[in-house]
């Protein structure tokens, strides 16, 4: 079957894995490796969440392949995603109770400048970092997270991210063992934090925008539901990027993240009570999560609830 016939099959059955994977194999046979990789990335993408171990690898592959593709071809493959300008206009989860899934363009200049600032701070052993200082203000919205290299700032004591455009923090923030001050005031797109933040045991001054946090009892923002990923799409992700190795939030054991044990827990971190997203290696570690989370104020849960809902359910037990 020729490429155009396969493409018609893809368009005739939007969202189905079979036609897309056959089309990707056809592109490989034609020597169009980047196009084939892009198709497989788009197949894997719906199974991934921003806290998954493969997410950053996906962002890198997506950003690299994107620049080699024709906009017309992209719009045919995924019209919902590429019928508008990328990256700032990508469809995102804006509805209440959903994780924002913006894809970070890892090739774009604002991200590169941010990474250079982090690398310079690491080389200099800096104790204070304001990574957005050198990012053009008109381009800041193109940055949605910090580079994983932020975890290499072993001397970092104060980080200023005031009025940042961030929608999430990388789990690597938890390796900044000397961190004492983290200023995220007016970062109004940041609604949750990685559980690894609790490993910053010297953190004393933590400033966030409480109104946008999941589970806030005043605004009643529901926790996103943490459902298991589509196993067929996860197979494609693992074929592309191999095992998704990370450390368990409870026992700190390295494990292969299959997205099966993801739980919310609310805890007091320094000066704030915030929602934390924990990735765990087993059901046994889920049972230990509250005990192993300093300052925990709720039991672990899968989401779909506000703080009031959780308090009501506990009172009925």
Q: Domain map of the chain by residue range?
A: 3-82, 243-315
Question: How many H-runs (helices) and E-runs (strands) does the chain carry?
Answer: 10, 9
Examine the pLDDT at 166 and tell me if it is beyond 50.
Answer: yes
The residues near 44 (Cβ < 8 Å, ≥ 6 apart) are 54, 58, 233, 234, 236, 237, 240
Summarize pLDDT for 173-222 with one digit per residue, the tens: 999 999 999 999 999 999 999 999 999 999 999 999 999 999 888 877 88
In this predicted structure, what is the pLDDT of residue 183? Answer: 97
Max CA pair span of the chain: 63
Which stretch of DSSP H or E encloses residue 277? strand 272-279
In this predicted structure, what is the pLDDT of residue 134? Answer: 86
Other Cβ atoms less than 10 A from the Cβ of 38: the count is: 24
Distance CA(226)–CA(190), nearest Å, equals: 18
Distance CA(300)–CA(288), nearest Å, equals: 9
* CB 262 within 8 Å of CB 51: yes
Which of the four pLDDT bands, split at 50, 70 and 90, describes residue 289?
Answer: very high
Radius of gyration in angstroms for the set of CA atoms belonging to the chain, rounded to a whole number: 20
In this predicted structure, what is the pLDDT of residue 1? Answer: 60
139 backbone dihedrals φ, ψ, rounded to 5°: -110, 0
Examine the pLDDT at 306 and tell me if it is beyond 80.
Answer: no
Which residue in this structure is represented by tokens 């970062």? 187
* CB 182 within 8 Å of CB 157: no
In this predicted structure, what is the pLDDT of residue 116? Answer: 94
Provide the terminal-to-terminal Cα distance of the chain, rounded to the nearest Å: 60
Distance CA(26)–CA(2), nearest Å, equals: 8
**Segment of 3-17, 40-54, 298-312 carrying the highest mean pLDDT:** 40-54
- Phi-psi group of 15: left, alpha or beta (phi > 0 → left; psi -120 to 50 → alpha; rest → beta): left
Summarize pLDDT for 79-99 with one digit per residue, the tens: 777 765 444 444 444 445 678
Kindly state the average pLDDT of the residues 106-135. Answer: 93
The mean pLDDT of the chain is 88
> Cα 139 to chain center, whole Å?
20
Q: What single DSSP character describes residue 110?
A: H
Q: What percent of the chain has pLDDT over 90?
A: 70
Q: How far is CA 296 from CA 128, 132, 301, in A?
A: 29, 31, 12
25 backbone dihedrals φ, ψ, rounded to 5°: -60, -40
Summarize pLDDT for 25-84 with one digit per residue, the tens: 999 999 999 999 999 999 999 999 999 999 999 999 999 999 899 888 888 888 777 765
Summarize pLDDT for 260-288 with one digit per residue, the tens: 999 999 999 999 999 999 999 999 999 99
């Amino acid at each position: 079957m020729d490429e155009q016939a396969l493409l018609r099959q893809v368009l005739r059955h939007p969202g189905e894995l079979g036609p897309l994977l056959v089309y990707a194999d056809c592109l490989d046979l034609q020597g169009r490796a980047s196009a084939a990789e892009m198709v497989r990335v788009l197949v894997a993408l719906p199974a991934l969440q921003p806290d998954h171990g493969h997410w950053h690898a996906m962002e890198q592959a997506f950003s690299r392949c994107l620049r080699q593709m024709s906009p017309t071809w992209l719009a045919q493959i995924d019209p919902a995603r590429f019928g508008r300008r990328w990256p700032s206009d990508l469809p995102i989860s804006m509805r209440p109770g959903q994780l924002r899934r913006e894809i970070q363009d890892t090739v774009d200049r604002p991200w590169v400048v941010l990474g250079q600032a982090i690398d310079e701070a690491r080389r200099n052993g800096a104790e204070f970092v304001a990574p957005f200082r050198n990012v053009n203000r008109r381009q800041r919205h193109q940055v949605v997270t910090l580079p994983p290299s932020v975890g290499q700032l072993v001397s970092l004591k104060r980080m200023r991210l005031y009025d940042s455009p961030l929608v999430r923090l990388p789990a690597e923030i938890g390796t900044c063992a000397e961190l004492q001050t983290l200023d995220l005031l007016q970062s109004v797109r940041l609604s949750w934090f990685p559980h690894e933040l609790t490993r910053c045991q010297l953190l004393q001054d933590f400033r966030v925008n409480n109104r946008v946090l999941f589970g806030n009892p005043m605004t009643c923002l529901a926790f996103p539901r943490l459902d298991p990923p589509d196993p067929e799409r996860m197979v494609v992700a693992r074929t592309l990027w191999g095992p998704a190795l990370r450390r368990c939030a409870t026992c700190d054991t390295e494990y292969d993240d299959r997205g099966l044990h993801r739980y919310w827990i609310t805890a007091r971190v320094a000066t704030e009570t915030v929602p934390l997203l924990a990735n765990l290696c087993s059901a046994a570690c889920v049972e230990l999560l509250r005990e192993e989370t300093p300052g925990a104020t709720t039991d672990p849960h899968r989401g779909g609830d506000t703080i009031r809902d959780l308090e009501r359910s506990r009172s009925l037990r």
